[in-house]
Copies of this chain bind each other. A is one copy, B any other.
Amino acid sequence: MTVAEHKRKSAVGPGAAPKPDSILVPGFRAAGIHAGIKKNGARDLVLVTADPPARVAGLFTQNRVQAAPVVISRSRIRCGLCQAVLVNSGNANACTGEPGLRDALALSQALAGRLGIEEESLLVASTGVVGERLPAANIRKALPALVRSLRADGLLDAAEAIRTTDAFPKLAWRQSVIGGETVTLFGMAKGAGMICPNMATMLAFFLTDLNAPAAALRKLLRTGAARSFNRIDVDGDASTNDTLLLLANGRAGHRAAAIGTRAYDAFAELLFPMMEELAGMIVKDGEGATKLVEIRVQGARSAHEARVLAYKLAGSPLVKTSFYGQDLNWGRLMVALGCAGPAFRPGLVDISYDGRAVVRKGVSAGRKAEERARPILRKDRFALCIDLHAGKGAHTVLTTDLSHAYVTLNASYRT
C-alpha cells in the first residue's frame, strides 16, 4: 500500500476525507528527515513538539532488557509534562550499555538546548537493530535541519520516518466535539515484527489538544492498551524498545477531562477505537503476514487461563503455518491447547471458524461441517473461537500466519 492509498483508507476525519496536508493537531509540530542512520537514505529521525507543553502518559516495554531511550523516558515521564519527543528508526540503541545511555543523553541535551526547553521535558525513543551503537555524530549534525523542518503539517513525515520493516506507515486521525469544543486526535505507530503481549516492537504516539490531567491520560492509556496493543502477537517476542505515549496539550480549551467526567468518556470513545485500529494495522503488517486471525478462547476457568491458551495458539508455529497453508488442521489447535499448561477437558471443547462449528465435544463435527468451514480459511481475515465449557474466562488475541515471507524477512534483517 502506498502512503497515499493508506491515507485514503485510514486518516478519515469527521466529515469529508481530509487532504493529506490537512492532518493537523493544534499546538503540535513535527518533522521527519534522513539523518544517516538508515543506510538506504530513508527518513530516520523524528521530532514532535508541543506548545503549550503537553501533559503526558506513557507505557513502556516489560522486557527485562531495556533500551537506553526507554530507561531515559521512563524516568522523565514521571514529571507528567512533555515539550518534545525525539525518535529515531534504524537503530534501537539497546544492549549498548553505558556508552549507549551517554549517546542518548548527549543528543537529548543538545536538542533541548537548541529548542530552549528543559531536558526533563524531552522524551526519546528508538527502534531498529539491537546491539549496535547509535551513529551519534550523524544524528547530532542533523539536529539543526530537524528543528528547521518542524511544521504543523509535518505529522505524515513523522509517521513515515518511524518505520523500520513496516510495509506501510500507520496513522489515524479523528475529531470530536468534547465539552463544546472540537478536539483533535492523531495517532501513529510502527511495528511489524517482535509483536507480543505487553505491546510490540512498537512505537506509538498519540497527540491531542484535549485538556486533561496526567492521571486521566495514564488511565486512558492503560485501559486502551489492554484492549488493543496488549492483545496482539506476531512472533512472541516483546522488544527492548516498546514505547506508547499520549500527549495532550490542552489547546482545545474545554473543562479538564478528569477521570469520571463526561469529557473523559467522550475522549475514550475517540481514543480506544483508534488504538484498536492501529494495533490491527501492526498485526496486519506482521512481517510476511498474509492473514489476520482473531483467536478467542472462552469458557475457560479464568480470564488468565483463557489468555495463556489464546497466546499459546497465537504463538504456535504449527498453528500459524496451517493458517498460511489455508489448512483446516484443527488437530493442531487441540495439540497446542493441550500443551499450554491450563487443565481442561478435551471432550468438552468446541471450535468454530467465523461461527461455523468444526469441532464439537472434542471431535470433528463431521466431514460436511469441515467442508462448509474450509472456504473461511481462504479469507484474509477470520475469527477462530474455542469454547472449553469449563467456566467464564475469556480472552481474544489478534495474530497472523507464518509465511515464507516471514522467514525471508527475518533471516536477512541484519546482515
Contacts and interface: CB of A to CB of B under 8 A. Distances in A.
Given A64-B339, A97-B362, A316 B236 contact: yes
A334 B411 contact: no
B318 A97 contact: no
Nearest to A409: B321
A302 to B, nearest CB: 16
A238 interface: yes
Interface string A11-50: 0000000000000000000000000000000000000000
B403 A407 contact: yes
B237 A361 contact: no
A191 to B, nearest CB: 13
A407 B407 contact: yes
A256 B106 CA distance: 74
Given A130-B332, A407-B407, A402 B317 contact: yes
The residue in A237, A328, A334 that gathers the most chain B C-beta atoms within 10 A of its C-beta is A237
A110 interface: no
A363 B240 contact: no
The residue in A317, A324, A347 that gathers the most chain B C-beta atoms within 10 A of its C-beta is A317
A202 B404 CA distance: 26
Interface in A120-161: 129-132
Interface stretch (A88-96, A181-189, A222-230, A270-278): A88-96
Interface in A293-332: 315-318, 321-322, 324-332
- The interface size bin for chain A is 35 or more
A238 B237 CA distance: 21
A261 interface: no
A282 to B, nearest CB: 16
Nearest to A370: B131
Number of copies: 2
A355 interface: no
Interface in A358-393: 359, 361-364
Contact of A327 (B194, B325, B412): B412
Interface string A335-367: 111110001101100000000000101111000
A408 to B, nearest CB: 7
A334 B236 contact: no
A235 interface: yes
A339 B238 contact: yes
A339 B196 contact: yes
A79 interface: no
Contacts of A94: 331, 334-335
A307 to B, nearest CB: 15
Given A318-B237, A324-B411, A339 B63 contact: yes
A414 B339 contact: no
Given A193-B318, A324-B411, A130 B63 contact: no
Contacts of A196: 339
The 4 closest A-B pairs by CB, nearest first: A130-B331, A325-B411, A65-B338, A321-B410
